[in-house]
Structure 1
Amino acid sequence: MSKEVKPVSMSMHPLGGRTEVTSDQEPLCVFGTGDMGRSLGQRLLQTGYKVTYGSRRPHGCGPVPQGAQVMSYADAAHSANVVFVCVHREHYGFMEKLASQLKGKVLVDVSNNPEQNLYPEANAAYLQKLLPGSHVVKAFNTLSAWAIQNGPADACRQVYLCGNDAEAKQAVSEVATKMGLTVLDRGSLSSAQELEDFPLQLFPEWKLPLQIAVALTAFFFFYVLIRDVVYAYVVQGKDISFRIMVSLANKVFPIVSLIMLALCYLPGVMAAFLQLYRGTKYKRFPNWLDRWMLCRKQLGLLALAFAFLHVLYTLVIPIRYYVRFKTWEYVITQIKENQTIKFDTTVAWRTDSYYSVGILGFALYLLLGITSLPSVSNALSWREFSFVQSKLGHVTLFLCTLHTYLYGWDRFLRASTYKWYTPPGFMLSLVVPSVVLGLKLLLLLPCVDRRVTRIRRGWERKEHDEEKTLLT
């Protein structure tokens, strides 16, 4: 039996409509008429293939794409050399009865499981064991039915596949390529478990950043809660618990945002000093540092999200009932006592600088977030991307840190600031970014920067020492 797919010539409608075939079509078979089977069949028809569906109820399986035929599993198996198996693993049993009809054919397993480690072996491996005379290829399972139906116009272009038979994989690759998709061969069928686990992962690259964000948010929320609300109730006898919803949240969000932004640039600084210490770039970083550096993008995007929340919460401050009440209370008191307040130029400069620096920092923050999007970063050269993410990134960190310093101003000199002898949250948030900026300044010193640049261009201290020894 030949497993090659016949070439097809077609003209595609610019909007993705039905194609007009100008030569012989290669018939393909789809087992299953569910969402995945219908979407896959529709896309194959648009690509120019003849499609035959296999169903346990040929006359009552529901609507199928126009132009496709519906038959019993046995009849459909005779119609094509490539069969897409769009049924769940628990229903594979019927195919054992079709072993003779499916012998030598290519079976494309597109199934996934509801959770990981549900079965002792991959679905594709199990199907290969049921039908040893067939050639099972795992493919298309990483794409949803919706993505397949929309095709490459939705930027869902990658198809992972694996299988033990090279000709069978080639046949499936040709079909995927004609559908406008990019094929990535992951090797033998032993990789099927990895491919089946891939769609079940829940934000694997975001796990560590989310844990850091949750931990920082929880810590500073309870820290600020104790210093502000609990302290006021215990020491002053005031119930200001209503401030939890806006005031406390608007203290926690900028704190977490600033610390997480600093954590994006701390590992790069640490890596540079580690290379200086080792005198080479050819030694691997510790695993924890590698992992940290690989999740900097996610850390930055989460930091931007907290900065957004801080901006939104700040915008609602003037319309809060508490703020309006205190404003009118203060105005009425001044009128009753016939008092006036002298304009303080220093305070005006400080508050305007505080707002201006914050606005500039947030604007660069947005630029960092936008350039981290794949559609934008792919359009930038490496130098442009490095300039934005590194140089402008450190400028962003400096502006946000300066924004926090201007907010605190001289409060660290006041005894009332240290409730229960604890520093306010904004002072704690300045520790990490101040350390990062200080270390970065050291790296910018000409003597240090020159050495780091040489190391990153391949220079090693060991070779330099050996050269000096030979010369002496």
Structure 2
Amino acid sequence: MEISEMAAVGGNEHKQETICILGTGDFGHSLGMRLLKSGYPVVFGSRSPQESSLLPSCAQIFTHTEALKKAKIIFLAVHRENYDFLPALSSFLDGKVLVDVSNNLRKNQYPESNAQYLSKLVPKAIVVKGFNTVSAWALQSGSLDANKQVFICGDDSKSKQQVMDVARSLGLTPLDQGSLLAAEEVENYPLQLFPMWRLPLTIAFGLTVFFFFYCVVIDIIHPYVTTNTDVSYKLAISVPNRIFPNVSLILLSLVYLPGVIAAFLQLNRGTKYERFPSWLDRWMLCRKQLGLVALAFAFLHVLYTFILPTRYSVRWRWMHSMIEESKKNKTMELNKVQSWRVDVYFALGMMGFGLYVLLGITSLPSVSNVVNWREFRFVQSKLGHVTLLLCTAHTAVYGWDRFLQSKRYKWKLPQAYMLGMVIPCIVLVLKLILITPCVDRIVTKIRQGWERKPKHKQALV
């Protein structure tokens, strides 16, 4: 198919605008393919046109000078280190839109953004920053679900609009980020590695390490030191299955603790129009990630619990117990209290885990987008606190009366589950205070805009 025929297919006027791409690498090739499929005529500018055999067959390949003469919108798909050929082409770029799609190897690699440097290098061109958040693979394969948003910034509104129109034609969602001063932020964006996950993962890692060493001390080292009993085999299953539920429960409570702290701050201030401390803002922004990490630890706890009865050590204890009963010609009677305890323990665990999974599902964008705000808030807030209550009760029933038994305090240290319940219990008590009618009424009024005036202002009135 000839280029003129492909342009006619588009039908829209802006699709008949020829697009020039300077750069014949992976991104330039993929962008050219995507533009051609969207109905745009595409010309490539290359230092060696005759050697560019890997480019789309429907596109024309020229030298840089010849390619620039055929288009008003130019995509610069080369790295900053290779901008040296541009000053010689300055006259051919006069008044044309030059879209910088480059990225760097690390954040703030240069004192100024690539786009700002480019605008000084070729001052006659109208530089627009954009498309740097889209990968070559996503453009070529068409898998744009996770890469739909593109940030556009530039000093000329008309030129930005032209680039945004091109983005929409490719199935992308352009977001205007303002002037070219925002180019540094736009260039740093794709270099971020899970920015909202760092704090949750750091907390989870710290709690995991703490509980690991704590459980090793009281479950492995203590029996070896006091009775010379080697139970190091517990490191594979038993110790991890003590770590996972405690870390999961603490992380879940940390999801709801900042909201409780924020409510008490608003009560103390008597207004919602004062900013929260930066640490609290950051904490509240990563609550979703904290919850998902907590759910992952809960899944591990469930899986490890399922395989407990299949362990050799457990089967050996069962067989040893039966043999001992046979030797004594004695049968252990059913302990109904213990039966109730175990059944309630499992029931609370299953209900808590079921709601846990529900919280995780509703946090997915594909699900949260189809529920209204009230429904989302009901699940994430109200059912979330019920989940925390059930999981805390599940842990409490596991402990039962063990906290009263002195033999459980090895080297006078409490069991791991006792430490895991501290923060969840604090959150639940504070939440109980907040939902009492008198306090809830005041919090609701504050969040609806009511302000408590300071005493000196009331005196003036």
**TM-score (norm: length of structure 2):** 0.94
Provide the C-alpha distance between the structure 2 equivalents of 1:398 and 1:23, rounded to a whole number of angstroms: 58
- Aligned-partner SS, 2:86: helix
Equivalent pairs counted in the alignment come to 456
Give the 5 Å matches for 1:241-256.
241-256=232-247
The equivalent of 1:79 in structure 2 is 70
Q: Which residue of 1 aligns with 2:408?
A: 417
1:468 CA drift (Å): 9.3
- Partners of 1:59 and 1:218 in 2: how far apart? 59
> Does 1:433 pair with 2:424?
yes
- Residue pair 1:151, 1:179 contacting (<8 A) in 2 also: no
Residue 196 of structure 1 and its aligned partner are, at CA, apart by 0.7
1:461 match: secondary structure: coil
Q: Which moved more, 1:403-412 or 1:40-49?
A: 40-49
Alignment equivalent of 1:158, drawn from 140, 149, 152: 149
- Residue in structure 2 matching 1:179, options 170, 173, 178: 170
- The change in CA–CA distance for 1:91 and 1:469 in structure 2 (over 3 A counts) is closer
Give per-residue Cα distances to partners, 1:211-237, cap 9 Å, x unaligned.
211111111111111111111111111
For 1:57, the aligned partner's letter is: S
Partner AA of 1:373 in structure 2: L
Letter in 1 for 2:246: I
Q: 1:312 aligns with which of 297, 303, 323?
A: 303
Compared CA separation, residues 469 and 192, structure 1 to 2 (3 A): closer
3-state DSSP of counterpart to 1:285:
coil
Query: Equivalent residue for 2:10?
Result: 21
- Out of 113, 120, 123, the residue aligned to residue 129 of structure 1 is 120
Cα drift, residue 456 of structure 1: 1.6
Amino acid at match of 1:74: T
The one-letter amino acid of 2:368's match is: S
Out of 277, 285, 291, the residue aligned to residue 286 of structure 1 is 277
Aligned positions of 1:43-62 closer than 5 A: 43-62=34-53
* 1:111 and 2:97 matched: no
C-alpha distance in 2 between matches for 1:32 and 1:468 = 71
Partner of 2:325: 334
Q: 1:302 aligns with which of 270, 290, 293?
A: 293
Matched with 2:390 is 399
| Aligned residue type for 1:366 | V
Q: Deviations over 1:1-55 (max 9, x none)?
A: xxxxxxx999xxxxxxx99334772111111222211111111111110011122
SS in 1 for 2:314: helix
Among the aligned pairs, what percent are the same residue?
A: 56
1:129-171 per-residue CA deviation (whole Å, 9 max, x = no partner) reads 2211111111000111122335586253221111222232122
Match of 1:207 among 198, 201, 218: 198
Q: 1:464 to 1:9 in 2, by over 3 A?
A: farther
2:28 maps to 1:37: yes
Partner AA of 2:230 in structure 1:
D
Name the CA shift for 1:456/1:464 in 2 (closer, same or farther; >3 Å). Answer: farther
Residues 9 and 304 (structure 1), Cα distance of their counterparts in 2 relative to 1, 3 Å cut: farther
2:382 and 2:187 mapped to 1: Cα distance? Answer: 40
Q: Is the counterpart of residue 378 in structure 1 residue 369 in structure 2? A: yes
Distance 1:29 1:449 in 2: 61
SS of the equivalent of 1:120 reads coil
Match of 1:260 in 2: 251
One-letter amino acid matched to 1:457: Q
The aligned counterpart of 1:461 is 452
Q: What is aligned with 1:100?
A: 91
Among 443, 446, 450, the alignment partner of 2:441 is 450
C-alpha distance in 2, partners of 1:328/1:350? 23
Distance 1:9 1:186, change over 3 A: farther
For 1:9 and 1:288, the matched residues in 2 are separated by: 58
Any idea what SS the aligned residue of 1:154 has? coil
**Structure 1: gaps spanning 5 or more residues:** 1-7, 11-17
> Aligned with 1:137: secondary structure?
strand
Query: Kindly tell me: are residues 391 and 410 of structure 1, through their superposed partners in 2, closer, same or farther at Cα, counting changes over 3 Å?
Result: same
Aligned mates of 1:274, 1:163 — CA distance in 2:
41
CA distance in 1 between counterparts of 2:436 and 2:64 reads: 73
Question: Closer, same or farther in 2 for the Cα pair 1:200/1:377, shift >3 Å?
Answer: same
CA, structure 1 residues 385+9, in 2 after alignment: closer, same or farther (shift >3 Å)?
farther
Verify the 8 A CA contact 2:133 2:147 in the aligned structure 1.
Answer: no
Q: Distance in 2 between matches of 1:62 and 1:334?
A: 83
2:265 is paired with a residue of what secondary structure?
helix
RMSD: 2.2
8 Å CA contact 2:252–2:388 kept in 1: the answer is: yes
Q: Are 2:352 and 2:391, in contact at CA under 8 Å, matched by a contact in 1?
A: yes
Q: Is the 8 A contact 1:233 1:240 kept in 2?
A: yes
The correspondence of residues 191-206 of structure 1 with structure 2, limited to 5 A, is 191-206=182-197
Partner Cα distance (2:38, 2:115) in 1: 26
Confirm or deny: 8 A CA contact 1:151 1:180 kept in the other structure: no
Shift of residue 403, structure 1, vs aligned partner: 0.3
State the TM-score, normalizing by the size of structure 1: 0.92
Where structure 2 has 5 or more consecutive residues not aligned to the other structure, the ranges are: none
Distance in 1 separating the partners of 2:132 and 2:316:
59
Pick closer, same or farther for the CA change 1:353–1:62 going to 2, 3 Å.
Answer: farther
Structure 2: which amino acid aligns with 1:289? L
Q: CA deviation at 1:406?
A: 0.6
1:235 is aligned to 2:220: no
Q: 1:193 to 1:466 in 2, by over 3 A?
A: closer
CA distance in 2, matches of 1:361, 1:66: 59
**Residues in 2 aligned to 1:457 and 1:56: alpha-carbon distance in whole angstroms:** 63
1:336-351 aligned at under 5 Å gives the runs: 336-351=327-342
**Alignment partner of 2:50: what SS?**
coil
Aligned equivalents of 1:379 and 1:465: distance in 2?
48
State the Cα deviation string for residues 162-183 of structure 1 (Å, max 9, x = none).
Answer: 1222232122122112223222
Kindly indicate whether the alpha-carbon contact (under 8 Å) linking 1:261 and 1:397 is maintained by their aligned counterparts in 2.
yes
1:359 aligns with 2:355: no
Equivalent residue number for residue 321 of structure 1: 312
CA distance in 2, matches of 1:104, 1:282: 46
